[in-house]
Structure 1
Amino acid sequence: SEINIKPWHILLGGLKEGTTRIPWLNREPYAYWKGNPAVAETRQDLIKCNVSENQDWNARLFAQDWFRESQEGFNKSDLPSQCTYSQKYILSCDSTTLLVKPKYYDFFTRGLIPVHHYWPIKDDDKCRSIKFAVDWGNNHKQRVKMDYVYDYMFHLLNSYAKLFRYKPSISANATELCVESMVCGAEGSVKKFMMESLVKVPANTDLCTMPVPFDPPTLYATLQRKESSIQQVESWEKS
């Protein structure tokens, strides 16, 4: 809530609406990024790829001042309103996603396949890599999709629970928490988002089925496919 990220089902609806405002072929033909560059050296390096009087790497990069945004009502940081570029840094907006080679991974990142789910960007030569990706992407329409977020969370928590080596029990001094006790002490956007994310009725669809874990040969084949895709892109960049 401190940066005004809405509950997922509300944000998803806004993103779906945002993707329909401007068709992909009519969007700005540039790579787009907005964030706080001060928090990481790799972000400061990325900002160097911004357009200047002497060079255009086909990137439009914006430094985000979250303190100023909080004072002005987050008018310039609404994610659905940013679906105006053909290449982006998030898996949304129906735009090709550019992903700088990560040092750390999100919970879903390891399952993404280069060129299929995203376009890989070199971490040691970002500007040239971004320019090539944008030039390529503007000639090849890509579609990305993100579904079953809550289903995944359920499966993840359920899998963690199976690892417990003890049987949970309610201690004698435990205090039961209810929705009212959690919400009453909250204020502002924290309270607003808590109420908006409150699940009032069960889902009317079946839970998705998680695929079985990879066996060693399948895992090896997947890793090989990812590495081959990255090497293919690097060879295209050199040609």
Structure 2
Amino acid sequence: MLFKNNYNYKYPKKDEYQLNCTSSNMNITCPANYPPTTYNLNFKSNETCPEYFRWIHEDLKIWKENGITREMVESLEDKGTHFRLVIVNGIAYVKQYGKAYQTRDTNSFWGILQLLKLYPGRLPDLDLVFQCEDLPAIKKHDYKGTKATFAPPQFHFCGDDSSYDIVFPDWSYWGWPEINIKPWVPLLKDIKEANPMKNWTSREPYAFWKGNLHNGPRRQLNKCNSTNDWSTVIVKQDWREKEAFRNSDLSKQCTHRYKLYMEGISWSVSEKYILACDSMTILINPKYYDFFTRSLIPMVHYWPANPDNLCQSIKFAVDWGNKNTHKAQEIGKAGSKFIFDQMKMENVYDYMFHLLNEYAKLLKYRPTIPEGAIELCSEKFSCSPMGLEATFKQETMVNGPSKHGPCKLPSPYDPNTLEAIIDRNSKIKQVVEMWEKEIEVANLP
């Protein structure tokens, strides 16, 4: 049986790649000619990548001077990492150290395989180690001063200011079958179609949040769950109850003027879904970031809220928005526009391409296939009868090679510009906190 991609991506239109899931291949072996590498490599794009691609340079900066050695990569093997991925001559191999939670690892394999199909022969040989847990693990305090250049280069879904983890797009762009979340392309389409069905002014004038309340600081949200007192609607959804997600549809959760984003143990994949809603996103001062969120601007793309004064801070944002509906609407639209314009799937793939390409330039050795590694190909993840997981993979399979190159990677930030960006965002948040305090003082008896 041959499968093909059902979603109309911007890039390949031809079904040049098809899965060989015939009965004669039930042992799921990789095709001998996989992946093809004979395509013209001279295609270039005239389009410059979005601004957030500049963070690639920041994430790799500490290794620019001395590079990355094989010993640094292999030192991560016994430190709780999940897999080592090597690309040699356009073919991906993986050595698994431990099974990640749900499909975090297999979806990451899948995404990289699709990238190799999209830009066959364009990625150099590389060797990396990936960790799929919630929290960044390469702590800066363990590599102070000159030791920083010897920090092991670990890829991860998120980072923070106290870690050196290299941030990579998360697994959910190819779907999250365990909780019934579609892949990014069809889900974004559903949200875009649903947004105008209830215009902003006719939406419920409250802040809405739905999710798991067991993790980290989210427990505090229970205190704010009173529509009348705090203008907040909190809906608990337990990760452990699979039936709770059967009828859960993210495209139907954009019915409030305000949407809350709050971290759990660390960053959450929900941030991109919340921002896409046209509602004014209230971001409760996140500590962690993923690959694009560092380019979001407070009071432009979202409203910054203070976790130290949580319920009052959320209520202040809602009250302000209900009194300044035009401005609140603008913030909601700007956040949504950022997602729809800059977070297209082709940009996700291009970010992966540039990050891996820039990383490969830092390697001081020639990557080789490690002992115990297995070859990866699409058939190994899509031919078995795995229900929704296999369906999502079949639906997100890249049909053929891109007829143009990836977008052009913008130059690194110069130190003054980067400092100015950080200073600007900090000052905006301070202004909002000042407004909140003024209201508190005015309301004192």
The answer, yes or no, to whether TM exceeds 0.5 is: yes
1:105-184 aligned at under 5 Å gives the runs 105-138=289-322, 139=325, 140=327, 141=329, 142=331, 143=333, 144=335, 145-146=338-339, 147=342, 148-170=347-369, 175-184=374-383
RMSD: 2.3
Supply the distance in 2 between the matched residues of 1:227 and 1:192 (Cα, whole angstroms).
44
Match in the other structure for 2:237: 64
- Shift in alpha-carbon separation, 1:115–1:173, aligned structure 2, 3 A: closer
Supply the distance in 2 between the matched residues of 1:201 and 1:179 (Cα, whole angstroms).
13
Supply the distance in 2 between the matched residues of 1:50 and 1:56 (Cα, whole angstroms).
8
Supply the distance in 2 between the matched residues of 1:44 and 1:163 (Cα, whole angstroms).
42
TM-score, with normalisation over the residues of structure 2?
A: 0.49
Report whether the alignment pairs 1:51 with 2:222: no
Query: Unaligned regions of 5+ residues in structure 1, if any?
Result: none
- Opposite residue 232 of structure 1, the aligned amino acid is V
CA displacement at 1:203 relative to structure 2? 4.9
Report whether the alignment pairs 1:209 with 2:408: yes
Q: What is the SS of the residue equivalent to 2:313?
A: helix
Q: Aligned pair count?
A: 234
Q: What is the SS of the residue equivalent to 1:37?
A: coil
- Opposite residue 46 of structure 1, the aligned amino acid is L
CA displacement at 1:174 relative to structure 2? 6.2
Report whether the alignment pairs 1:228 with 2:427: yes
Selected match of 2:285 from 101, 116, 138: 101
Larger gyration radius, structure 1 or structure 2: 2
CA displacement at 1:149 relative to structure 2? 3.2
- Opposite residue 45 of structure 1, the aligned amino acid is Q
- Opposite residue 225 of structure 2, the aligned amino acid is N
Q: Which runs of 4+ in 1 moved over 6 A?
A: 171-174
- Shift in alpha-carbon separation, 1:175–1:104, aligned structure 2, 3 A: closer
User: Which range moves more in the overlay, 98-107 or 116-125?
Assistant: 98-107
Match in the other structure for 2:25: none
Supply the distance in 2 between the matched residues of 1:168 and 1:204 (Cα, whole angstroms).
28
Q: Which has the higher contact order (CA 8 A, sep 6+)?
A: 2
Supply the distance in 2 between the matched residues of 1:132 and 1:72 (Cα, whole angstroms).
31
Query: Unaligned regions of 5+ residues in structure 2, if any?
Result: 1-176, 262-273, 439-445
